[in-house]
Amino acid sequence: MDLAKFVKEVLNAPYYRTRPHEVMRYAYAKWVYQKHRMEDPLEFLRQLGVDPKVAMDGYERWRPMLADACQRIKDRSGLQGGISMEDGAVLYGITRSMRPKNVIETGVAAGMSTSFISAALLENGTGELISIELPVDQAHAGQWDGCHFAWPDSGVGWAIPQSIKEGIANRHTLVLEDVRTALPRILAGMKSLDFFFHDDLHVPSHMRWEYDLVYPKLSPGGFLLSDDADYGWVGFCKSLGLPDSSFNNIQRLTGLRKPLTAAKPAVNGSLAAKGAQLA
């Protein structure tokens, strides 16, 4: 672990500056993810029980367009919040192989995760995506994880390729609202959820709240993925009694697949009811 980078992250994040015990947990989580880091997205998919050949079917048709969008984000000044091509390949692969009826992502920013998921949904010819992001005026403010985003200057999802926007059309719903109110309401109206991707506020209490809220709604065989995983993922996986393989990650993108017959996890009822408590 890069100690200087770690110290800078902690000092820049209001959440960690006021919680010394969480700093120790964060350091432990960093060590765990470094130990279980994987370099090959295809091997990561295999570890999740996904056939890479099925998962990447059609990907080469979209890859140049998606790579161009990633590059446009890199070339734009300020923090735009885009995922990497490696992360994106995982999102595409899971969506393509599972052929989900519904997908929810929290955190849109410039729109790269939306682009990869939507490309796979277009290849599938079926399935809908719901994306939850803060309204632009709220996203401008500094976040508890220390992020100060620049994407609001260009708008939510500004990097999504036009052909993907036009192709996915009304199969994509963008919800501009605080996830702590939007996600419980959306889940309450769904019988089950096939695929959930977390990529909004990266502090353990909030992330754990999302995992605990979503997991009972996941369909058997459904996927839960999280970007920038921290101690929230460690605690969640331990609460389910999962093996160390649950800490496998691509650049701290972690994931799990719900068994076909799964027991409910131990959920903190007050946390699930009230949302993440950040203060």
| pTM for this entry | 0.91
CA distance readout (Å), 188 to 80, 184, 213: 31, 6, 10
Question: Residue 256: which of 94, 106, 117 has the closest Cα?
Answer: 94
AA identity, residue 82: G
Question: Does residue 143 sit within a domain?
Answer: yes
Residue 232 lies in a domain: yes
Q: What are phi and psi of 51, to 5 degrees?
A: -75, 115
Q: Is residue 129 part of a domain?
A: yes
Inside any domain, residue 64: yes
Query: What tens-digit pLDDT sequence spans the chain (279 residues)?
Result: 677 888 888 888 888 998 999 999 999 999 999 999 999 999 999 999 999 999 999 999 999 999 999 999 999 988 788 899 999 999 999 999 999 999 999 999 999 999 999 999 999 999 999 999 988 877 655 566 667 777 778 889 999 999 999 999 999 999 999 999 999 999 999 999 999 999 999 999 999 999 999 999 999 999 999 999 999 999 999 999 999 999 999 999 999 999 987 455 444 443 444 444 443
CA-nearest of 216, 264, 260 to 240 is 264
Dihedral sign (CA 7, 8, 13, 17): positive
Total residues belonging to the chain: 279
Q: Is residue 279 part of a domain?
A: no
Residue-number span of the structural domain to which 16 is assigned: 3-274
Residue 68 lies in a domain: yes
Does residue 51 sit within a domain? yes
Q: Which amino acid is at 21?
A: H
CATH number of domain containing 204: 3.40.50.150
Number of domains comprising the chain: 1
Q: Let me know if residue 78 belongs to a domain.
A: yes
3-state secondary structure of 50: coil
